[in-house]
Each structure stands twice: as C-alpha cells, then as structure tokens.
Amino acid sequence: MTSSFRLGYVPGATPAKWARIWAEREPDVPLELVNVAAAEAADLVRNGDVDAALLRLPTDRTGLHAIPLYTETTVVIVPKDHVIAAVDEVSTEDLADQVVLHPLDDTLDWERLPGQPAHERPASTADAVELVAAGIGVLVVPQSLARLHHRRDLTYRPVIDAPESRVVLSWLEDETTDLMEQFIGIVRGRTVNSTRGRQQPQPKRAAEPRKSTARKASGGNRRRTPTKGKPRRRS
C-alpha cells in the first residue's frame, strides 16, 4: 500500500503551490490536503491525525516544531458604502466608535479589542462576515480570511497597528521523517539537488589520458632539431 503525507491547513492558508511541487518530486507518495479549524490544528498534529500543518500563531506549540513562513497584513472588513471604505488604511483608534465583531475562532492576539463590543460573539468568522454585510458591525481579520470570505458588497482596508497573524509550518518534535524533510525543503524553496537529508551521488572524475612512455622519454611533443652534416647513405 502506497504511503501518503497528510498536510493540514487552516482557513486562508494556500498550500496549492507547494502541493504541485510535491507531486513533481514525490509522484509515488500522495499529498493529502486536510482543511482544519484554526483552534484544532495544533492538536491534530500532536495526535498524529496529520503529519504536519500550516497553522497560525499564536497557538499552543507544546511538542511542536514551527518554521515561520510569512506574516499576514491585518485588515478590517466593512460594507462598500462605509466611511472607512473611503480611506486607504486605518488605525485601531479609527475604530473606536465602531461595533467590532469578535468571532469565537478569532486568531489575532488582542491585548484589548478595539471599538465597541457586540452583544454576542459570532460562532465563526463566516458568521461574522454575514453580520458585517447586514450592517451589524465591522470585523478585523488576517487578509487571507478577508479574501476567503469575499463578497461583492464588502471591502477591506489595512489596520496599521493591529496584531499580525504569522503562518508557520508545524510538525511533531523528534518526528522529522524523510518525507517531512522533503516538504520542509519545498516550502523553503530548495531545489531537488539541495534538499537536505538526501545524499547526492558524487560526480565521477573523468579519467586523465595516459601519457605514453615514448613521449616522456622524448620530452613530450618537442620537435627534434635535424642533425647537421651529410645525409646517411642507405645500405
């Protein structure tokens, strides 16, 4: 039975590029992509339900390795006719008079949520987006989630001083298999020949041409100077 490599990824993460490279380098090992909830991603890795995961920090990293991949811009989602839609970017102070929705699956590390609190916390980011469309409030999220939940009647703007979300590749400590090394190499942009953990065969040295004994004795390719005097008579 062919083994596989299971990669979990939280909403908004985009593993498609790395999956294509994997298929080229490991055609005999299927890469299974598993969409996981942000709050459950780390536990799924610890429990062995996935071999690795693309997850967002902050999260509990106990027993896990984590390679930083990228940091996302944080944005506020608003209706297209909202006053915020008229500017290029905002600060948290600009949200002071706004009802800022705080879904239960929020992954931003707020010390203090900006704006005015809603009466209830939406169960999910998707639910919060629906409330924004209904004019109930605004929503601050990583930019990839704003793109994931795109609607024609909504837009978003960067929040320059909000917490940022970092996406990392995470896997179990002491469980760095050959397949894990292969995927690490892919996300780090290593070429096939530079992938760590794979011994590349040393190129064979071309055999040097053997010099003839006659050439050594005669001093190589130097031409002899003709001997002066009468030519020898043939016998």
Encode pLDDT of 36-80 as tens digits.
999 899 999 999 999 999 999 888 889 999 999 999 999 999 999
- Helix (H) or strand (E) segment spanning residue 187: helix 178-187
Could you say which residues of the chain have pLDDT below 70? Answer: 1-2, 193-235
What values do phi and psi take at 132, rounded to 5? Answer: -60, -45
Q: What type of residue sits at position 50?
A: V
Place of tokens 């996300």: 187
Question: What is the pTM (predicted TM-score) of this model?
Answer: 0.76
According to the model, what pLDDT value does residue 174 have?
85
C-alpha–C-alpha distance, residues 7 and 23, integer Å: 13
> Does residue 58 have a cis bond before it (omega within 30 degrees)?
yes
> Which stretches of 61-211 are assigned E, i.e. beta strand?
64-72, 74-79, 99-101, 116-117, 138-142, 154-158, 165-172
Work out the mean pLDDT of the chain and round it to a whole number: 86
Domains of the chain, first to last: 5-71+166-187 (3.40.190.10), 74-163 (3.40.190.10)
C-alpha–C-alpha distance, residues 156 and 125, integer Å: 14
Tokens read off for 164: 């940022």
C-alpha–C-alpha distance, residues 72 and 57, integer Å: 11
- The β-bridge relationship of strands 52-57 and 165-172 is antiparallel
According to the model, what pLDDT value does residue 192 have?
72
C-alpha–C-alpha distance, residues 96 and 2, integer Å: 56
- How does DSSP assign 189-219, residue by residue? T--TTT-TT-PPPPPPPPPPPPPPHHHHHTT
8 A C-beta contact, residue 182 and residue 4: no
C-alpha–C-alpha distance, residues 201 and 193, integer Å: 10
